[in-house]
């Protein structure tokens, strides 16, 4: 008798399983067709860092103070800045990130007093040759600003002033 009840209840569990799978069968698929569709990354996703800029003026927040470079435990940030004519603060002219050394610890972002850098949402980073050990974040800033129809502001280096700027900017 025990065998009979066991067989019947066991069979019933199989029916339950079949019922669950057929319900899934008629639900819509949840696949993202990757090369053609991509997910938008959540806000807290840590991609490589990028320069933040003012939505209205299109100017980068960065003043090239170098605190981020000092804060970085992996020494993957090298940056440079210049004081434009008639302004008190410097503006970033060169921001090199060696992303292959970066551990995404966020210390640079937390150290920044001007709220000038943030994590980007980029994740499609596999490529040959590897461009990630010498990323030009100023170029990225220029591209982003141009894309929304504003003019990026990066002061041109005067030929004579170049050595002086170098001294100030080294971390």
Partner 1 sequence: MSALRDLCGLPETLIAHTMIARILELISSEPYRSLLYLVGICAFVAANAAYLVWVERKGAGRFQRRPGPDEAGPWGLLQPPADGIKLLSKQLLVPPGADAILFRAAPLMVMAPPLVCLAVIPFGDFVLARNVNIGLLMVFSFGSINVMALMLGGWASRNKYAIISAARVVSQNVAYEIPMLLVVITLLMVTGTMNLQEIIVQQAGGFWNWNILRGIWDFSGGGWGHIGGNLLAPVTFLIFYICMLAETNRAPFDMAEAESELVAGAFTEYGGMGFGVFFMAEYANIVVGCSLATLLFLGGWQSPVGIVPASWGLFGTLLGVGFFLAKMYFLVFSVVWIRWTFPRTQFYGLLNLSWKILIPVSLFTLLLTSVLLKLPRLF
Q: Which residues bind partner 1 (CB under 8 A)?
A: 3, 7, 14, 17-18, 20-22, 24-25, 27-31, 33
Minimum separation from the CB atom of position 17 to partner 1 (A): 5
Minimum separation from the CB atom of position 18 to partner 1 (A): 5
Minimum separation from the CB atom of position 11 to partner 1 (A): 8
Between 7 and 74, name the residue whose CB sits nearer to partner 1.
7
Between 24 and 55, name the residue whose CB sits nearer to partner 1.
24
SS3 label, residue 9:
helix
How many residues are recorded in the chain?
A: 171
The whole-angstrom separation of Cα 121 and Cα 45 is 6
CB 58 within 8 A of CB 130: no
Q: Are strands 77-82 and 117-119 parallel, antiparallel or unpaired?
A: unpaired
Between 27 and 43, name the residue whose CB sits nearer to partner 1.
27
Between 20 and 105, name the residue whose CB sits nearer to partner 1.
20
Minimum separation from the CB atom of position 9 to partner 1 (A): 13
Alpha helices in 26-161 (DSSP H): 67-71, 107-111, 137-147
Q: 136 forms bridges with which residues in the sheet? A: 96
């Amino acid at each position: 008798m025990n065998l009979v009840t066991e067989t019947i209840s066991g069979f019933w569990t199989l029916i339950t399983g079949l019922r669950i799978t057929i319900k899934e069968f008629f639900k819509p698929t949840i696949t993202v067709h990757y090369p053609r569709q991509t997910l938008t990354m959540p806000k807290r996703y840590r991609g490589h860092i990028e320069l933040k800029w003012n939505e209205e003026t299109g100017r980068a927040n960065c003043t090239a103070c170098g605190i981020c470079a000092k804060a970085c435990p992996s020494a993957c940030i090298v940056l440079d800045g210049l004081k434009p004519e008639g302004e008190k603060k410097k503006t970033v002219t060169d921001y090199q990130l060696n992303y292959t050394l970066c551990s995404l610890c966020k210390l640079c972002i937390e150290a920044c007093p001007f709220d000038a850098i943030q994590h980007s949402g980029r994740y499609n980073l596999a490529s040959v040759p590897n461009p990630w050990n010498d990323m030009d974040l100023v170029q990225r800033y220029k591209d982003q600003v141009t894309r929304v129809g504003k003019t990026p502001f990066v002061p041109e280096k005067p030929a004579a002033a170049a050595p002086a700027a170098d001294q100030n900017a080294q971390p």
